[in-house]
Structure 1
């Protein structure tokens, strides 16, 4: 009987699994140590072949393990578009030992564009555990192809359109780090039952942590620094019928559904710097955020909740978010603090104007423009913002604003809001506003 080198290596790795002791003590799981498949982990050798050979040996109830070392991956446009591809598998884990990292060194040498993701999970798959993963890009990437961790599933819908990917459920990310990737740090699309804890993302060229058409997620202890777009984004797109765009790998629906980034619990999030918003929600449904701190977002808002109807000239379309609750929010040195923004169409379709957003226990310091802003970009009024126990302090005169502004809106509720501004600006301004409820509003100039 002839045995190929690949089969021999896989067998050797599996046979040696008993000798590997994971920090988590995963009893009864086959452990595939990438060094047993030929990986050097010296930061110089191209370990692409060894890594992908180890990945090919993954089976249900097994763990891909990277011991201490820097594993350089230099293959341009690898098979499956990622260094590590988990497709059609369940009950598998990827774990990095102390000091281990995956060094993505496959940028185009001329353009600096990316040529693959770090880790890709593709449905159908379930019960995927990613622990202590460190993925770092070598060199200065341009915004292009290549997420740190990418998970692509498919929402459960009746008669899914052709090309709709298979489902992914039960994904956990624990204490993972992504640095300098050409696109998003972590992105999940069409995934359910998610747990993210201890994630650290730095210097991405797109969002730090992005969700599209997901459900039932818990995010805790997340830190994003200097992302190229939003620190945390929950975005589900609009289309007249459920659709999947294969080119962008995004899902869209005609209204809020149980897959519209629904039933999210977010706690203890810190966003520092970045080129867009701290947290952005578009087409989100039943989201609770507690303990959010955003500092130094200069081109967006600490929290942006927005909609865009077809014809609104926004590029993408999304319905208004509902069931959004934010508690214990602090923003400092941002362009804007809390921004509720609608881009309604001419039809006045209430799917794009009727929000349900409640914000409480808010501290907004030194926001350059409006600290709180609710507005429609047309005369079609938006509705559905509640702000309670909000403290605003600013000295900026950008745009002549500095406090709280409401434009083309109704059914806005303000309770116990104080504005302290050191300059003569429009600290409180309303235009085309109806149904405004104010309980204790104070404006002070020291």
Structure 2
């Protein structure tokens, strides 16, 4: 199916940083995959002047303790080389983050890989061992990264309580990122405003619920508003490919390939004024688009549906066709518009 509409780019950008450039190796990082480099990374970040600057990470394997984590600061660019790998140290913690952006602004994180420790995790509880945690932050860009094998999410975006007030994250861009083989979600978008996800892949998530490629699901007390997911591939996840779950408003999924997920390709529950348009949605086990109670004002248009609703066994073997569960609309939904310009190939 041809791409029918180009997604706009984000209208915000991180503020200019200072001219300082600091190499993590100048602060003791070894990059040999054996020595714990967490403190060295933190020392390099903390050495940036008030105006900010760039922390460079040359190629190498950097062992990071997620229980401590690397805490990012405002007005900085964490610039990793293509050969950079941040390798999470095995731990038993329920909550642990390799990179942590908490209440910061004007941050760019680019390049390299984060490799989680789900295969060597020492505990059995918890689901919050994330590669990158972003909370209550503004103007954050994440680009050209590969994040895999995390005990929780590849990337988690959300808000934080400041006193009695919930502060959401705002004006975030995820671009050219791959999140693969993470345990809970490839990407979680929680309490936030204006999040853009472009040209990325969210694949092979599974191990604990929901197991979604992308889960837009704000915690109680706030919403996720003005979300755009465009030109992404969402494939092979144990749960839904993309989930819009309660307290989600003004979300658009456009020009994506959503295929071979064991749940629905796209699932909406209690979402309001959202759009699913110009996607290829195929071979998803439970169905193409599932519209569940509480969903209001959903427009489904210009999509191409193919072979949704077959069993996982049939899909894996390549046997048979005839999945017919392309759009399934449940009770207690309002203003659901399935346009005539959708195409159904099976």
Q: TM-score, normalised by structure 1?
A: 0.62
Match of 2:59 among 68, 93, 99: 68
Whether 2:267 is the aligned partner of 1:267: answer: no
Equivalence for 2:316: none
Confirm whether residue 194 of structure 1 aligns to residue 144 of structure 2. Answer: no
Match of 1:337 in 2: 288
Specify the alignment match of 1:231 in structure 2: 213
1:212 equivalenced with 2:202 (yes/no): no
Equivalent position to 1:173, from 142, 166, 169: 142
Identify the residue that residue 327 of structure 1 maps to in structure 2: 277
Secondary structure, counterpart of 2:330 in structure 1: strand
**Distance in 1 of aligned mates of 2:22 and 2:94:** 28
- Residue deviations 1:103-122 (CA, integer Å, cap 9, x gap): 112234xxxx6662110011
Kept in 1, the 8 Å contact 2:128–2:153? The answer is no
Matched residues in 1 for 2:154 and 2:66: separation? 19
Q: Which has the higher contact order (CA 8 A, sep 6+)?
A: 2
Query: 1:31-430 maps to which residues of 2 (within 5 A)?
Result: 31-60=21-50, 61-73=52-64, 75=65, 77-78=67-68, 82=69, 84-86=70-72, 89-108=73-92, 116-123=96-103, 125-138=104-117, 140=119, 141=121, 144-153=127-136, 168-189=137-158, 190-228=168-206, 229-236=211-218, 250-253=219-222, 260-282=223-245, 283-298=247-262, 300-307=263-270, 321-335=271-285, 336-342=287-293, 352=294, 355-368=296-309, 370-376=325-331, 381-388=332-339, 389-393=341-345, 420=346
Q: 1:219 to 1:371 in 2, by over 3 A?
A: same
Distance 2:66 2:250 in 1: 41
Query: Structure 1, residues 289-319: CA drift from partner, whole Å, max 9, x if none?
Result: 2111111111x11010112xxxxxxxxxxxx
- Post-superposition offset of 1:71: 0.6
Runs of 5+ in structure 1 lacking a partner?
1-25, 154-167, 237-249, 254-259, 308-320, 343-351, 394-419, 421-446
Say whether the 8 Å CA contact 2:300–2:338 is kept in structure 1: yes
Q: Relative to 1, partners in 2 of residues 1:77 and 1:341: Cα closer, same or farther, differing over 3 Å?
A: same
Q: SS of 1:359's equivalent?
A: strand
Q: CA RMSD in A?
A: 2.1
* Alpha-carbon distance between aligned partners in 2 of 1:51 and 1:27, rounded to the nearest angstrom: 18
Find the aligned partners of 2:203 and 2:291 in 1 and give their Cα distance: 24
Task: Spell out structure 1 runs of 4+ moving beyond 6 A.
Answer: none
2:19 is matched with which residue: 26, 29, 40?
A: 29
Change (3 A) 1:145 1:219: closer
CA offset digits 1:26-71 (Å, max 9, x no partner)? 9852122111111111222222332232233244412222111111
Give the secondary-structure state (helix, strand or coil) at the position aligned to 1:285. Answer: strand
Write the distance in 2 (CA, Å) between the matches of 1:76 and 1:387. Answer: 45
Give, in angstroms, the shift of residue 76 of structure 1.
Answer: 6.8
Q: Which has more radius of gyration?
A: 1
- Give the total of aligned pairs: 296
2:118 touches 2:151 (CA, 8 Å); kept in 1? Answer: no
Q: TM-score, normalised by structure 2?
A: 0.79
Deviation (angstroms), 1:133:
4.0
Write the deviation string for residues 310-362 of structure 1: whole angstroms up to 9, x where unpaired. Answer: xxxxxxxxxxx2221121111222121100001xxxxxxxxx36x01111122
- 3-state secondary structure, aligned to 2:240: coil
Any idea what SS the aligned residue of 1:35 has?
helix
Distance 2:19 2:106 in 1: 14
The CA distance in 2 between the partners of 1:220 and 1:48, in whole Å, is: 30
